[in-house]
Structures are given as structure tokens and as C-alpha cells.
Amino acid sequence: MLDSSMAEGLVDVKGAGVCAIDAHSVYIHIPFCVRKCAYCDFLSFPNCVSRIDEYVEALCQEISLAPKLWGNEIKPLLRTIYFGGGTPSLLSGKQVAEILLALKSGFDLSEDCEITLEANPGTIDAQKLCAFYDAGINRISLGIQSLDDSVLRTLGRIHDADTARKAIDIVQEVGFRNVSCDMMLGIPGQTLENVKATVGELLERGIPHVSLYSLILEEGTPMYARYGGDIEKYVTQEADREMYHEVIRSLTAKGYTHYEISNMARAGYESRHNMMYWRAEQYYGFGVGAHYYLGQERGRHAETLEEYLAALGETNVRREDVYFPEETLTREDCMKEFMILGFRMGSGVDARMFQERFGMTVESAFAKELEQEQAKGLVVAEEGAYRLTEKGFDLANQVFMDYV
Ligand code: SF4
């Protein structure tokens, strides 16, 4: 339990200097899709592909202005860049190159900067992938979801299983080694056999990173209208968990590490960008709806194209025209978030990192919580870290609630 002096909206996280912007990552939102998938409530606009050019222009303008708007005196150094969506693979190679050029004008990129682009298998060909590669993209995250046609139809994806297989082939033939595939679980009609077959193929094809998502029915989506509150009739919680454990088992047996609740990777292929989120580090966000976390400020961008384009079209763009703060984090917020996010990782909450960031030990900040979690067998202390046990991973929400 934190004492009250720590909880009073302190403005300085570490003692001095942490309020300063210390971000080495960038998230870029590309909000366009060919059409809406049946389960999707992400911020993405179908049938607007004709507007990509003007969007990229505004995005480059925002990126070029960012260091000045945030008062950076020297060029910030970037270690990870992530193009997410939406469907970033709807961009052309030239547009991706333009965005990266804008980044290089205001930021320094580390020599080994991880640059990921999310790709929908239904939107890529070898020529486009080569152009992405030449532009500097070095990691592709493919939204495969499943290699079963009936499951893909239920999800309303624009691609079938063969298109997804071909996409993997193209990505690898072009020369991308750092490739991730998304798999979705808990879908009505999906069986354990479907899941085994998909993960088996991903293994055969040498995909080094797999992200797992359980279907969440969001109100307002076609799948919600179809399955609504009755989802348990089609797929039970137990079935969903069984699928999850099957994937974890299959990949662990082949040497993958379960390095985060929903992510498995071969050594060296962990997503460095996502690790940045789980270490509760700051990041720049660019584009419609993109979130950002800079200094102690967390916020987002306008969620409509019109608002975003209008803000960037001004002659004298001010920070408040583009960035909408939502939250000012207190020291207590930061500590709790560090715990929750840290527990998501297989390596757990790094005690040394906690002390470096907050100037106190994790044991002194959360003695009671850690003691109880260990007594319940949910958390174990090991090699300078506190991490979830196998039981803890299954009951992770119970642990997270201790820090809410
Ligand atoms: S491709 Fe992704 S962002 Fe686009 S509609 Fe489908 S789930 Fe949503």
C-alpha cells in the first residue's frame, strides 16, 4: 500500500527530471481499411482509400512539427517505430518512405531501430513488400487470425486462408526475418483442431513471433448483433482458455518463450515496441486517434479525419490543436501501472528498474500486495523480479486488481 504522501498528485515521478519527455518510440496510426471486419470497433475508416494521400501529407506535417511542439532541444533518439491501424499495408512503399523521411528530419533513429508495419494479408504483393523493405521497414506483423476459411468468413476478414499463406510466403521471400502473426481465439465455430492446425502451420513456416487475441464482442459490431449476449452458446470460456493453452503448449515445446501474456517469441524476436509499452515507457503517437504518453501527460488525437486534417492545415499549428490531454499521471499512478504492465511479462516486474525509476524499492511500495500474492501462489520472487506463476497467469486479473 502506498502512503498518502505518494498519492497526492505529485508532479515529479523520480525526484527530478522524470517529468521531462523521455520517449524513444513512435506509434503511427493508419486509420484506413478495405472494409470493416465483423468484430471490429477499432478506429478505422472503410472505403476512404482515396484520402490516404492527404492523410500522409498531414501526418508528415505533424511528425515534422512534433519535436518543436514538445519543446525538444535536441533531436530525440528513436529505438522503435510502429505503423498500426487500421491497415498500414494500404499505404504504398512511397508513402511509407515519405513518413520515415519526415521522422528522420526531426528524430535520430538508432542503428538497430525496430520498424514494424502491420499488414493485412489481403492487401500485399511482392512489389509492395519490397518497397516497404527498401523504405526501412524491418518487422512485419501479419493479421492472419486463422488459417481456416470458415473461421475467417465468420470474422468477415477480407482474405481467405490461402491468401494468408501466400502473404507469409511473400513476406519471407522478400527477406523479412522478423515476422509476427496474429491469431484470434474463441471464435464461434472455431475448434481446437482448427487452432492446432493454424499454429502447426505457423511453426512449419518458421514464424518467430505469435500474438494471441481472444475475440471480444463489441457492441455495435455485426458479430455482436449475431451472437450478442449468447456467445457462451457458441464458444465457452473454457473452450477459449483451452485454445489459448494449446497454442502456448505447442509453441513452448518448440522453444518459443511465453514472454508476455498474449505473446510468444523465439529468442531475439520479442517485440521491442510492445516491450516498451509493458515497461510503462513514454512514446510519441501520431495520426488520427493515436494515443501518446509524454512527460506525465497521456492523451490522444482527434478521432475524425476532418478534425485531424483541419488542425494540421493551420498555418501556425499549436500543440493544443493536435494533442488532447486526457490524464496527468501521478507518481502513484505510474508505480501501479508499472506493476500491472510488468506482471504481463514473463520476466515480471523488474525490481531494479522500479527502484531506478521511482527512487524506492518495490517491496517498500507494495509490501502487503506482494506478500499476499506470494502467499496465494500467484506471484513468485525470482532473480530480482516478481513474476506471475502459471496459476497467476490464469488469474492475472485478480493480481492486476491489487493495483487499480
Ligand atoms: S483489418 Fe483490423 S482495423 Fe481493419 S476492420 Fe479488420 S480488424 Fe478492424
Dist. CA 320 → ligand 1 center (Å): 29
Number of Cβ within 10 Å of residue 1's Cβ equals: 11
Highest mean pLDDT: which of 9-23, 218-232, 311-325?
311-325
Distances (CA, A) of 36 to 42, 51, 70, 83: 9, 17, 35, 19
Q: Is the CB of 123 under 6 A from ligand 1?
A: no
What's the pLDDT score for residue 361? 97
Choose which residue among 29, 39, 41, 42 to substitute to test ligand 1 binding: the one with the highest number of ligand atoms within 8 A of its C-beta. 42
pTM assigned to the model = 0.93
Q: Is the pLDDT of residue 29 over 90?
A: yes
Question: Sheet harboring 291-294: ordered strands across?
Answer: 257-260, 263-265, 209-214, 179-185, 139-145, 108-119, 77-85, 23-30, 282-286, 291-294, 297-300, 324-328
Q: Is the pLDDT of residue 394 over 70?
A: yes
Q: If you average pLDDT over residues 212-223, what whole number do you get?
A: 93
Dist. CA 89 → ligand 1 center (Å): 12
Q: Is the pLDDT of residue 220 over 50?
A: yes
Cβ neighbors of 135 (< 8 A, separation 6 or more) are 93, 96, 97, 100
Domains of the chain: 20-278 (3.20.20.70), 331-401 (1.10.10.920)
If you write DSSP's letter for every residue of 264-305 in order, what string do you get?
A: EE-TT-S-HHHHHHHTT-EEEEESTT-EEEETTEEEE--SSH
Q: Is the CB of 41 under 6 A from ligand 1?
A: no
310-369 pLDDT, tens digit per residue, is: 999 988 999 999 999 999 999 999 999 999 999 999 999 999 999 999 999 999 999 999
What's the pLDDT score for residue 72? 81
Q: Which atom of ligand 1 is found nearest the CA of 41?
A: 8
Dist. CA 45 → ligand 1 center (Å): 9
What's the pLDDT score for residue 19? 58
Percent of the chain at pLDDT > 70 equals: 95
Residue 231 pLDDT grade (very low, low, confident, very high; cuts 50, 70, 90): confident
Residue 73 pLDDT grade (very low, low, confident, very high; cuts 50, 70, 90): confident
CA separation for the pair 278, 269 (Å, rounded): 16
Residue 18 pLDDT grade (very low, low, confident, very high; cuts 50, 70, 90): very low
Q: Is the pLDDT of residue 393 over 60?
A: yes
Residue 61 pLDDT grade (very low, low, confident, very high; cuts 50, 70, 90): very high
| Nearest CA owner, ligand 1 atom 7 | 40
Output the nine-digit C-alpha cell for 365: 511500495
Q: If you average pLDDT over residues 197-225, what whole number do you get?
A: 96
Q: Is the pLDDT of residue 102 over 80?
A: yes
CA separation for the pair 350, 362 (Å, rounded): 9
